Amino acid sequence: MGSQGDGASSTECCPSESEGTEEKKQMNPPLTSDDVKNESEKDTDQNEEMSNTSESPESVLLADASAEKATQGSDTDLEVEDPEKAFVGITGTELYLEACRLMEVVPVSHFIQNLAKPYINLNHHGLGPKGVKAIAIALVSNATVTHLELEDNCILAEGAICIVEMLRENSSLQELNISNNHLDTAGAEAIANLLLDNMSYLHALQLSGNNFGDEAATYFAEALMGNYQVKELDLSHNEFYEKGGQLLGQMLASNTTLEILDLSWNHLRRKGTVALGTGLRGNGALKVLNLSWNGIGNEGALALGEALKVNNVLVHLDISNNQINNEGAKKLCRGVEVNGKLKILKMDNNPLTMEGATALVTSVRKNPKSMMEEINISNVLVNETFIKLLDLVCQMRPELDVIYGEVEGCIAKIPKQHPNPMKVIQNYLKEHNLRLWDFFRDMDKDGNMKIPVAAFRRAMMQQASIPLDRVQIGELVRKLDRNRTGVVDYSHLKEQKLAQKPVEGETKEEEP
């Protein structure tokens, strides 16, 4: 099996705390040409003078690998007479196999098979620092791989340093996932130095679950203040506390590139979130911010509400699971009722009641500039009064979808039965001799066979000839956008549009 054979270096998996400390002491510093020259002189019995010709990055890395073996007193009979020239001209698979031989790790067949493709997924392969070093060597001059997944490989800070050295030379890699790899502060420092120098072409970086604390936040904050490459950054499931939040908040005030930031599952609390809110006020780039599971409380909600009053870029805010009650929701609403950009607000699993839910919907109603498309308060028990208010607001804002919990009293009552919305549409099309393809195409302003859910919801609410209410349209959206992509994709109907009975065919297609 590929995974078992590919993970032969799994013996490198995470050591105990004492072993990890010892291993960190032995980590190689970033590679330099001087290091290569020194090691080459050790390996040359004749004490010949080395030439000053420039060396390829691959040979630098490989020379360091061979030097490492020499210093460890390896029993291997591998000899590199001239590490500067030994691998000149070797690329791709041959280079990787030679690197694996030097590092004494089993080659990953999946990596070899996909080396010429833009996407490679090596998650959960047990690579360890040496395994990832061989991969880094092979990717130094690679021009095809743009997205690399290396999650959960226990590469440690040593492996992160190898990745960083590769990224300083590689000009094609744009998306990298090295989450859950025990990188710790040393790994964070290496990555931050790369970002600070703007030496890579990365625009998406996932670093979730790497034991980063407030010291690591110092490095990232400094690096991202001047970085103009990274647009998506995942720092979730780390150990940032209030100090880390304050540092990252200062970064947001200066950063002009970052569009998506995930800080969920940290410990930002009140002070950290207040600082982030302050940074958001002047930020002109961030579109998506995830602060779920951070214990931000009502004070954090107040800070974000104040930020929303002036921020005109953020479109998606997730503050789920944050101990925000009705008081905090009302403070947040001060920003919601004047903000003209926010589209998605996730507040599920906060201790809200009908009072908080009503305040949120009312704030959208009061705001003539509101662009809100989704409010998620899925754990809140609502009543008929709230439903009437929501129906009224949705008449004014047909694109709005409020996800709430159960309706009070509905358990005792017989639930109201709604006709299947697809059948209602099909009956309408049959009566007017229309095809489903034509029905969707009329709503598609861009002509790309993809309709944003908000636009679809608005169009359906405004279809006077098709009697569907808010609940039915919600059910229809869930069927047509099962994966919650935010888009209704009807491209699969293209092949059916010339069929004699496309409507009947679609009925079969849409059945769950």
Confidence bin at 480 (pLDDT 50/70/90):
confident
Residue 1 has pLDDT above 90, yes or no: no
Residue range 167-188: mean pLDDT, rounded: 98
| DSSP E strands, 37-177 | 119-121, 147-149, 175-177
Confidence bin at 8 (pLDDT 50/70/90):
very low
Q: What are phi and psi of 420, to 5 degrees?
A: -60, 120
Residue 182 has pLDDT above 90, yes or no: yes
Residue 499 has pLDDT above 90, yes or no: no
Q: What pLDDT does 22 receive?
A: 44
Q: What pLDDT does 510 receive?
A: 41
Return the biggest CA–CA distance within the chain. Answer: 94
Residue 509 has pLDDT above 80, yes or no: no
Q: What is the mean pLDDT of the chain?
A: 82
CA distance 300 to 30: 40
Residues contacting residue 420 through CB under 8 Å, at least 6 positions apart: none
Residue range 219-224: mean pLDDT, rounded: 98
Residue range 397-422: mean pLDDT, rounded: 76
CA distance 339 to 322: 22
Pairing of strands 450-452, 487-489: antiparallel
What percent of the chain stands above pLDDT 90?
61
Instruction: Tell me if residue 426 falls in helix, strand or coil.
Output: helix
Residue range 271-300: mean pLDDT, rounded: 97
**pLDDT tens, 19-71?**
444 444 444 444 443 443 444 344 444 333 333 434 454 545 544 554 454 44
Q: What pLDDT does 450 receive?
A: 85
Q: What pLDDT does 496 receive?
A: 54
Q: What pLDDT does 488 receive?
A: 84
Residue range 194-203: mean pLDDT, rounded: 95
In the chain, where the domains are located: 421-510
Closest listed residue to residue 192, CA positions, set 133, 146, 251 = 251
Closest listed residue to residue 29, CA positions, set 79, 67, 86 = 67
Residue 403 DSSP one-character state:
E
Q: What pLDDT does 319 receive?
A: 98
Q: Position of tokens 């670093």?
A: 207
| Helix, strand, coil percent values for the chain (each to nearest 5) | 45, 10, 45
CA distance 61 to 383: 66
CA distance 278 to 249: 7
CA distance 146 to 119: 6
CA distance 11 to 239: 27
- Whole-angstrom CA distances from 426 to 34, 454, 466, 505 are 74, 22, 10, 11
pTM: 0.78
511, with CB counted inside 10 A (0-12, 13-18, 19+), is exposed
| CATH tag, 421-510 | 1.10.238.10
CA distance 311 to 288: 12
**pLDDT tens, 362-395?**
999 999 999 999 999 999 999 999 999 999 999 8
Paired strand residues for 121: 149
- Whole-angstrom CA distances from 232 to 84, 175, 205, 247 are 37, 9, 6, 18
Q: How many CB atoms lie within 10 A of CB 418?
A: 12
Q: What pLDDT does 421 receive?
A: 81
Confidence bin at 18 (pLDDT 50/70/90):
very low
Q: What pLDDT does 460 receive?
A: 80
Residue 163 has pLDDT above 90, yes or no: yes
301, with CB counted inside 10 A (0-12, 13-18, 19+), is buried
* Residue, of 382 and 434, whose pLDDT is higher: 382
Q: What pLDDT does 89 receive?
A: 63
Residues in the chain: 512
Cα radius of gyration rounded to whole Å, the chain: 28
Q: What pLDDT does 462 receive?
A: 79
Written as six digits, the tokens of 461 are 């609410």
Residue 481 has pLDDT above 90, yes or no: no
**134-143: string of b/e by CB count within 10 Å (b at 16+)?**
bbbbbbbbbe
Written as six digits, the tokens of 455 are 């636009």
Q: Following DSSP, what letter does each residue of 202-264 receive, concatenated?
A: -SEEE--SS---HHHHHHHHHHHHH--S--EEE--SS---HHHHHHHHHHHHH-SS--EEE--
Instruction: Tell me if residue 23 falls in helix, strand or coil.
Output: helix
- Whole-angstrom CA distances from 299 to 261, 306, 333, 502 are 21, 11, 13, 55
Written as six digits, the tokens of 35 are 């290091």
Instruction: Tell me if residue 335 falls in helix, strand or coil.
Output: helix
**pLDDT tens, 304-344?**
999 999 999 999 999 999 999 999 999 999 999 999 999 99
- Whole-angstrom CA distances from 211 to 192, 331, 388 are 15, 33, 48
Paired strand residues for 488: 451
Q: What pLDDT does 92 receive?
A: 87
Residue 265 has pLDDT above 80, yes or no: yes
**pLDDT tens, 66-109?**
445 444 433 333 344 444 344 556 778 999 999 999 999 999 99
